[in-house]
Amino acid sequence: MIYLKTYCYSKHELPFVIANLTEGYNYIEKLVLYEYNYTHTGIKKEYEMEKVLHLIPDELKSKLYYCKVDLSPFIIQTYNESTCHNVNERIQRNWFFNDPNINLKDDDIIIDVDCDEIIYKTAYPKLINELNQQQQPLSIRLNQFFFNHTYLWTDCTFSSPTIYYYGMVKNSQRTIKELKIKNLRDLTQKTSTIYGCHMSWVMPIQHMVEKCYKTAHTGFKHLAKVDIMKKAVKEKKYIFDLKRPFNIEELKINDDRIPKYLQKKTLFDYL
């Protein structure tokens, strides 16, 4: 079986869930989607994605396994970035390995992505073939989009999501609060080519503001203002590190590097 494993925190991620289902439909057994009642910083939240799941086309729903998880016994409320990343975020990324409803076998393939990381439909066979050739867990190289689903960041290399057979990683783990944790992001060994895209910070402005203080990017709290974010998007400016090269190529909406479902002018008109 092939599992596409991810988690979500906001209603604005619905287009990326649908895009992942659409692109992967012919290859995956399930898109495994977890939603938690706490943010990375330990702020309690509602199950936001649950409110819009009915908007997923019926023909795609058979491939979706959506699971709400109460993290009350495990979460730590903190604005310490290290704790956010190494405890709260790790727990959220690894619930899959602690889910009693998931019975993994050694030959199951796991494609381990964030919601806004999308493997292209045409790339699945090539990606799986490369895993079989390399015979080790791989980080997956993606096209990096930023702020807008047509803004391709041409001088950014992104390769955080991963692909692996469960048998390759089943004995590699530690525990946090008695939960099994595997560190399977940003691996040293990477794919030889690009297999998808990352729609980073592609969300409504107000959601950008909230992301600055609700997720593990606690160092961005001072940027959590509507006017700052609007200006950054309009001017195509990487305000998180002004010294970093940020060359944006604005693609046509029907460019093949944009997943088919996202080839529309407006992504968030349902909000």
Quick check: is 271 in a domain?
A: no
Please count the structural domains in the chain.
1
Residue 269 lies in a domain: no
Please report whether residue 270 resides in a domain: no
What residues does 196 pair with on adjacent strands?
119, 142
pTM: 0.94
DSSP state of 58: G
Radius of gyration of the chain (CA): 18
Which residue range is the domain that position 152 belongs to?
A: 2-262
| pLDDT score recorded for residue 88 | 86
In a domain, 268, yes or no: no
The answer to whether position 267 is within a domain reads: no
The pLDDT score that the predictor gives to residue 216 is: 55
Positive/negative CA dihedral, 108, 186, 46, 61: negative
Distance CA 71, CA 98 (A): 12
pLDDT in tens, 177-214: 999 999 899 999 999 999 999 999 999 999 999 888 66
Predicted confidence (pLDDT) per residue in 153-176, tens digit: 999 989 999 999 999 999 988 999
Tens of pLDDT, residues 216-254: 566 788 888 999 999 999 999 999 999 999 999 999 999
Residue 168 lies in a domain: yes
Map tokens 């493997």 to a residue: 119
The answer as to whether 68 is a domain residue is: yes
Which pLDDT tens digit goes with each residue over 103-138?
999 999 999 999 999 999 999 999 999 999 999 999
Largest CA distance in the chain: 50
User: What does residue 137 show for φ and ψ, rounded to 5 degrees?
Assistant: -60, 140
Is 223 inside a domain boundary? yes
- State mean pLDDT over 3-24: 97
